[in-house]
Structure 1
Amino acid sequence: MRTRIASGLLTAVLAILGLATVFPFVWMVLSAFKSNKEINAPEQTFLPASWTLENFLAIEEKFDFIRLFGNSVFLAVVITAIAIYTSALAGFVIAKYQFRGRGLLFGFTVGTMMIPWAVTIIPRYTMFVDAGLQDNYLSLIIPAAISGFGIFMMRQNMHAVPDEVLEAARIDGASEIRIFHRIVLPMSVNSIAALAIFQFLWVWDDYLWPYLMISDNANQVLAVGLTTFAGQYGTDYGGLFAATTISVLPVIVVYILFQRRFVAGVASAAVK
């Protein structure tokens, strides 16, 4: 009886927290179908009093939405793919190979996760400007190509790969690169899916670093382009809500596609 009551209370608390988390997003989506007059009205309603698609139809008139959306998709996909590969490779080496300094290397990798990002932004900016990479996508790709969190997560997952399988492949004459690509990666799909969601989300939502490094509006990312709706004397909330609603669709699609593997991957890494 106590177990049922505790379970019911826990479910109720989680439901309330879930609704509190989702409510702002739902409000934003519904507001995208309202006019600015209705959005700024003193008396607010949850559902639009008068549904309109004008905010969505006028997005391209405000700024080059399609181009910026494409830029963000390109960067998110490229950076995510590179980060996954480097994290899996480094995690495999640290977890399955014995060499001097392995513990120190892993400790240093984990230590990078403890350094606040704001501490490194000025020296990083200076370094890339001196290298002539300002207004270049390499300035966005290179810093995110290696992820301390990704290496940590993949290293935890690699411990679940049986050593006997790797030894059997070596006896059959498989090279280490072939073992990594044909055996280790397929056995790490769950963790790769989980890391892909995290990395894609981080890149997609990144605002400050692209704002500092990319000056050409044609090469800018969507997160920075959304600030176009905020003017000096007012904000086009209808257009902002509509553009933001569309901008979150890729993240939602990626999560829905990899939801099961995401949960399994996070759980396996946490257990280890």
Structure 2
Amino acid sequence: MKTTALPKDSDSLTAESSRSSDRGIAPAGPRRRGPAGPGRPGGPGRPGRIISRAMLYVVLTVLSAAVLVPFIWMLVSSLKADSEVFTAPIQWIPKSFHWENFADIWTEIPLWTYLGNSLFLSVVITALQVLTGSFAAYGFAKVRFPGRDVVFMAYIATIAVPWQAYMVPQYIIMQKLGLVNTHLSLILLQAFGAFGVFLMRQYYLTIPDEVSEAARLDGLSEYGIWARIVLPLSKPALASLALLTFVNTWNDYMGPFIYLTDNNLWTVQLGLRSFVGMYSSEYAMIMTGSVLSVLPILVVFLLGQRYFVQGIATSGMK
């Protein structure tokens, strides 16, 4: 005799569905395949996305090439003769490669001395700016005192004042102190920077205050909190500030030009002026020296690029 299964009522279906859910088994149901949309593989929007991304890469490639054109021209000009540097139209491939330029420059000027002076000033000023900027930023970000925000805004407002406005008073002060024609004058003038304080403060604000409060309850002083807790958490911002300060100090021309008169104290930017004469200039040697002066900055940037990008992205500057 053939029996027919009776359909289950709604209560039994609900109970069975709940038991299946408890066991981690999804209730069986009809599967529907939606139509291919713009975000689905094989959908009509897939070719459009590929084309738009390809166009974006083309635009970025063109912009990158445009940025690199001056550097490529400088590199090519360093292998030319003086008469071929400023030819019109530009000769991107020299008629003859003068590789001896990179050997002659070391004998025509004391390039090692200039590079050493630039490296000394850049390292010392960078270390001092990182130290003073991070320490002052901790006070403005994590220490509460009357008038803190007003003092911070007044200090940051000095960024808007051009250096030419107080250049003469600074020189008079250094002259009265007898520090003209010394590296110490440049170190003292550039050991503090409002931009570094702003950059580090913005990063410190992303660190929860509960971390500092817990350290204070454990008996740690403000100096200990700054040195043992805040600084280790701020490596990206410290690397960003160090990289920016190093590049600005290395490329500085006006500061050494004003305060340094002794040839043995010149930086590499001043040393390149040795190839500029009254009636003629050795443009090929200038380009050769410029290429050599860019190499240390390139190495420093490549080493700290990851921290630099991370520090800028998390310092409130996006």
Q: How does 1:203-242 map to 2 (within 5 A)?
A: 203-242=249-288
Alignment partner, residue 196 of structure 1: 242
Do the aligned partners of 1:109 and 1:152 also contact (CA within 8 Å) in 2?
A: no
Deviation at 1:10, TM superposition (A): 4.8
Alignment partner, residue 78 of structure 2: 32
The 3 A distance-change label for structure 1 pair 9 and 111 is: farther
Do the aligned partners of 1:229 and 1:237 also contact (CA within 8 Å) in 2?
A: yes
Match of 2:224 among 159, 165, 178: 178
State how far apart, in whole Å, the 2-side matches of 1:108 and 1:233 are. Answer: 48
State how far apart, in whole Å, the 2-side matches of 1:3 and 1:96 are. Answer: 46
The 3 A distance-change label for structure 1 pair 100 and 7 is: farther
Higher relative CO (Cα under 8 Å, sequence separation at least 6) belongs to 1
Structure 1 position 115 matched with structure 2 position 115: no
Deviation at 1:254, TM superposition (A): 0.8
Alignment partner, residue 119 of structure 2: 73
Give the TM-score normalised by structure 1: 0.93
Higher-helix-fraction structure: 1
Deviation at 1:130, TM superposition (A): 1.7
Deviation per CA, 1:142-187, whole angstroms, max 9, x where unpaired?
Answer: 1111111100000000011222222222233322212211111111
Determine helix, strand or coil for the equivalent of 1:113.
helix
Give the TM-score normalised by structure 2: 0.80
Do the aligned partners of 2:186 and 2:255 also contact (CA within 8 Å) in 1?
A: yes
Alignment partner, residue 51 of structure 1: 97
Deviation at 1:5, TM superposition (A): 6.1
Aligned pairs, how many?
Answer: 272
The AA in structure 2 aligned to 1:179 is I
Deviation at 1:40, TM superposition (A): 5.0
Alignment partner, residue 254 of structure 1: 300
Determine helix, strand or coil for the equivalent of 1:34.
coil
Q: How does 1:50-199 map to 2 (within 5 A)?
A: 50-199=96-245
Do the aligned partners of 1:33 and 1:55 also contact (CA within 8 Å) in 2?
A: yes
The AA in structure 1 aligned to 2:134 is A
Structure 1 position 22 matched with structure 2 position 68: yes
Query: Rg larger in 1 or in 2?
Result: 2
Residue segments in structure 1 that go unaligned for 5+ positions in a row: none
Do the aligned partners of 1:62 and 1:228 also contact (CA within 8 Å) in 2?
A: no
Deviation per CA, 1:165-222, whole angstroms, max 9, x where unpaired?
Answer: 2222223332221221111111111011111111111111111111111111101111
Identity of aligned residues (%): 38
Determine helix, strand or coil for the equivalent of 1:122.
helix
**RMSD, aligned α-carbons:** 1.9
Q: Which moved more, 1:155-164 or 1:69-78?
A: 155-164
Deviation at 1:33, TM superposition (A): 1.8
State how far apart, in whole Å, the 2-side matches of 1:153 and 1:243 are. Answer: 33
Determine helix, strand or coil for the equivalent of 2:179.
coil
State how far apart, in whole Å, the 2-side matches of 1:271 and 1:204 are. Answer: 24
Do the aligned partners of 1:109 and 1:148 also contact (CA within 8 Å) in 2?
A: yes
Residue segments in structure 2 that go unaligned for 5+ positions in a row: 1-44
